[in-house]
Structure 1
């Protein structure tokens, strides 16, 4: 009654394959729904490693160094105030003189005679004036005549002063204690008013001048100790005695003067010297110049690691530098200075210091 169904082997194989594929996909879907997704792992950020060393600040005797000129404390050119012939040289080159010592003598040229005449004339005018005043009291002399005689008296006094000064000026004197450094005349020379006779210098005390850049002038104070180093290697001590109130408009530097005692009369005036002004001690670190770098703003400084293991850039000022190192100010009293790797980190970066626990 029923007809028996029959399938070919090919159809049976296709059906079995479809059933197997369905079973496989249904199993994967169930597994995906039953198993929770694995937790995602965040990427590990590795900190930069640097090398650093601890440095403690030390008292540093700061100095301001400049090139200076050594000058006599005072110098003057003695010039003739009268014309005449040189009759005698009372002081020679190199002689030490005291204030008021006569240096030379000029010919008289009738100046003494003119002085005597002026004295006699003044004596006469005085006598005339005294007689006139007596007559004036008796109403025998007019007021006008009395005034004329007083004028003549004043004129005679002035002529006497001029004649006396002319005689004095034939023997020029030293205006201060010093040394005759140069002599420009010889005995027998005929000179005129204004002729240069001698040059006198005072060198028992010296004056050293220098120029200080405007950025360093605030560190200078009157009375500070100064060390002078001469080219020959000799050292002298002095005191800062003057600081100009206005900078040179061309160089933007300030003029200073240093007072130096020279009791041995050393022949150093006119030479040059290195001026070292002793400033107040400051706390500073001695580091290698290779540790200095510039930040993005162009400031010179040093990179250190703080307590939070972060990089901090400190601007510094170089106090002095040589082949062995540099003294800088501006760092904390105790600082962990980066010695290797500073070029690969920036301010604010967290770092690992080699040898330290992370």
Structure 2
């Protein structure tokens, strides 16, 4: 007699689970064989929307700005050429001296007597030579003796010139119209040759020196108008009078000089000033500085939309910037500048303009 088979509930559950898995797998496999996978949909590229405004180039008066040093037109240190004691000071500090005016007077120290002696000696030598020449005509004097007397006359003439110069140098004079800026001696001071007596400066005309970077020197030309702005706000007009032919090897900049009239004799020699050189007018655009950006190479520029509605990046040169905006060069005569959305597009992208401002 056959025994009745019995299965535990656990075995029955396992068998049912395996059967269910086999059925699900066979169904998915059959479906994959009967139906092709659905084609993936590629999203269409959307055209970026930007906002623009038109900008027209205008004449811009460019300037080259540099920091300069104001100098007297001429400055000279008057030094003693003879030894002696200061007897009189003829021009005081702060006084104006005309060319040829005497500045001080030194003691004589026997110079007047030496001059008188030199004059008398010259008269004597001339008389001796005249007599010798008369004798020479009658063959009573040798040619050698005549030559010696001519030499003595030349020596006497040289001694007279030196004596006259020594007397003249007792009273130094102003070499040009100037102001006495410093006095280094007092009455009774003992001076030697080379001792500093006074400092003279000419300030009715000024010389301003500055350095211009090498990339800007090509825009400069002699005769260009220059505006000088002092630290206290005062201004002077000048003219570019010199441009060096070689750059400083350390700074790669060029030395320039500006000539400026100072009719009111302002005390500004030695001070600093801002030098603004008026360059030739160029065509430029006035924009908001916020529109400027850098390309991948670090070049400053602006993004514009061309006639084909494509983005172009124009490198520009920043000419000036203030609270009212910035002036730049490098754009076309008329340009449609992107004002909104430039950060989301790149060169060559086709864009749609949301609203162009005239």
**Bin of the TM-score, shorter chain as denominator length:** 0.7 to 0.9
Cα distance in structure 2, aligned partners of 1:50 and 1:309: 11
Structure 2 residue 73 is matched with structure 1 residue 73: yes
| Greater mean deviation of Cα atoms: 101-110 or 286-295 | 286-295
- Classify the secondary structure of the residue corresponding to 2:158: helix
Q: Specify the alignment match of 1:87 in structure 2.
A: 87
Verify the 8 A CA contact 2:66 2:275 in the aligned structure 1.
Answer: yes
| Counterpart-to-counterpart distance in 2, 1:244 and 1:321 | 29
Q: Secondary structure of 2:268's partner?
A: coil
Number of residue pairs matched by the alignment: 318
Q: Deviations over 1:27-55 (max 9, x none)?
A: x9xxxxxxxxxxx9986432222221111
Alignment correspondent of 1:124: 124
DSSP 3-state at the match of 1:304: strand
Q: In the alignment, what sits opposite 1:201? A: 201
Counterpart of 2:224 in structure 1 is 224
Bigger drift between 336-345 and 115-124 goes to 336-345
Structure 2 contact 77–196 (Cα < 8 Å) conserved: yes
Matched, 1:235 2:235: yes
Q: Which residue in the other structure is 2:111 paired with?
A: 111
SS of the aligned residue for 2:355 comes to coil
Counterpart residue number, 2:354:
354
Q: Which residue of the partner structure matches residue 19 of structure 2?
A: none
Superposed CA offset, 1:106-142 (max 9, x none): 0000000001111111111111111122222222222
Counterpart CA distance in 1 for 2:41 and 2:299 is 42
Normalising by the residue count of structure 2, what TM-score does the alignment of the two structures yield?
0.86
Is the 8 Å Cα contact of residues 226 and 240 (structure 2) preserved in structure 1? yes
Matched position secondary structure for 2:146: helix
Q: Which residue of 2 aligns with 1:165?
A: 165
In structure 2, distance between residues paired with 1:294 and 1:355: 25
- The C-alpha deviation readout for 1:220-277, integer Å capped at 9, x for no partner, is 1111111111111111111111111111111111111111111111111111111100
TM-score by length of 1: 0.86
**Any idea what SS the aligned residue of 1:328 has?**
strand
- The answer to whether the 8 Å contact 2:305/2:336 transfers is yes
1:345 paired residue number: 345
CA distance in 2 between counterparts of 1:303 and 1:137 reads: 103
1:265 aligns with 2:259: no
Q: Secondary structure at the match of 1:313?
A: strand
Q: Is 1:187 the counterpart of 2:187 in the alignment?
A: yes
Instruction: Name 2:145's counterpart in structure 1.
Output: 145
Q: Does 1:336 align with 2:336?
A: yes
Residues 156-177 of structure 1, C-alpha deviations (whole Å, 9 max, x = no match): 1111111000000000000000
Matches for 1:2-81 after TM superposition, within 5 Å: 44-81=44-81
> What is the distance in 2 between the residues matched to 1:322 and 1:52?
22
Structure 1, 346-355 or 208-217: larger mean CA deviation: 346-355
Partner of 1:97: 97
> Which runs of 5 or more residues in structure 1 are unaligned?
1-27, 29-39
DSSP 3-state at the match of 2:241:
strand
Tell me by how many angstroms 1:292 deviates.
1.6
Are the counterparts in 1 of residues 305 and 312 from structure 2 also a CA contact under 8 Å? Answer: yes
What residue in structure 1 maps to residue 318 of structure 2? Answer: 318
Q: Which moved more, 1:320-329 or 1:185-194?
A: 320-329
Structure 1 match to 2:31: none
Write the distance in 2 (CA, Å) between the matches of 1:347 and 1:151: 93
Query: What is the root-mean-square deviation in Å for CA atoms of aligned residues?
Result: 1.6
| Residue segments in structure 2 that go unaligned for 5+ positions in a row | 1-33, 35-39
Deviation at 1:329, TM superposition (A): 0.7
Deviation (angstroms), 1:58: 1.4
Structure 2 distance, partners of 1:300, 1:131, is: 93
Quote the Cα distance in structure 2 between the aligned partners of 1:355 and 1:304. 14
Deviates more, 1:77-86 or 1:129-138: 129-138
Question: Is the CA contact 2:52–2:355 (under 8 Å) kept in the aligned structure 1?
Answer: no
